[in-house]
A and B are shown apart, each in its own frame.
Chain A
């Protein structure tokens, strides 16, 4: 008659087990055999992308996130470095770290508020130009002028 079928069999298809952890499915035995021939009789549309379905699962977004955090920690460490060991090495490292941290941060802001393929593309292009000019300007300042560390020191000495 009715057979209790645990949904764990469905879980192996990659659906989040959290949804069905304690649920059991009761279905008539008569249908069971037919399911083997045609597994997708009744289906709910969900987004389930187990690794065996996706051709090339990209870890790009995840790695980007980790990179953002690592850069933040590196930038944090640069503050005492700039205070105790001011000089060209810290100046250029600071220029690079600040620009990239700002670039990625503004990128997240754009992702949150800008929608639509064209607008996203334009906004990101504009951001890229801004970040490039920023980095160029900071490097120029480091080379031709006093440099970032000295600039802050001078500003604070007044």
Chain B
């Protein structure tokens, strides 16, 4: 069998040779689990990756999309929890915060701080949906759409904070 293999592989155009493809007996999920249990068991060191790779705008925007998503979701959950737990009504607490506030700049800043992650996640979300239908994958397009998202985010947040 080896000799036959040797005979064939010496003539192949590429390095790898598949006479016949045989599907493996395990599922991809099982293979993944096997990898991770072995990986954790051996406690393998991790090569430096995000600590050494040069950051790019698309990279930063991608993790910011995730970051704003997690932050917004946590905020909504915290709000929902507060609604269940706190005894008084929403207008009561709103007036309470308003009476404690440190001036109009504080209010404008809080509006900006709330609007910014919502705006960013929304606009970048639309950018993601464009990718999902297959549009805008060329590298210059990625950067261009990214800058548009950043610009729209800043403008929208300032606009909403000024209302």
> Which residues from chain A sit less than 8 Å from chain B, CB to CB?
2, 7, 10, 13-15, 19-20, 22-28, 31, 39-50, 53, 69, 72-73, 76, 79, 98-99, 102, 105-106, 109, 115-117, 130, 133-138, 140-141, 145-146, 151, 154-156, 158
Contact = CB atoms under 8 A, between A and B. Distances in A.
Contacts of A98: 76
A23 B84 contact: no
Contact of A158 (B76, B80, B94): B94
B36 interface: yes
Contacts of B111: 155-156
Nearest to B160: A156
Interface of B: 1, 4-5, 7-8, 11-14, 16-24, 28, 31, 33, 36-37, 40, 66, 69-70, 72-73, 76-77, 79-84, 89-91, 94, 98, 107, 111, 114, 122, 125-126, 129, 132, 160, 163
B80 A134 contact: yes
Nearest to A156: B163
Contacts of B91: 146, 154
A115 B46 CA distance: 15
- Interface SS of B by simple majority: helix
A64 B132 CA distance: 14
A73 B130 CA distance: 11
B5 A42 contact: yes
A102 B24 contact: no
B10 to A, nearest CB: 9
Nearest to A106: B73
A23 B13 contact: yes
Contact of B23 (A23, A47, A137, A151): A47
A137 B129 contact: no
Contacts, number: 155
Given A10-B21, A25-B11, 8 more contacts: A43-B21, A44-B21, A50-B23, A116-B36, A133-B84, A134-B76, A145-B83, A146-B91
A98 B80 CA distance: 12
A54 B80 CA distance: 44
A72 B122 CA distance: 9
B21 to A, nearest CB: 4
A158 B20 contact: no
B22 A23 contact: no
Nearest to A45: B24
Given A72-B125, A76-B125, A106-B73, A40 B22 contact: yes
Nearest to B133: A69
A158 B33 contact: no
Nearest to B125: A72
A133 B7 CA distance: 65
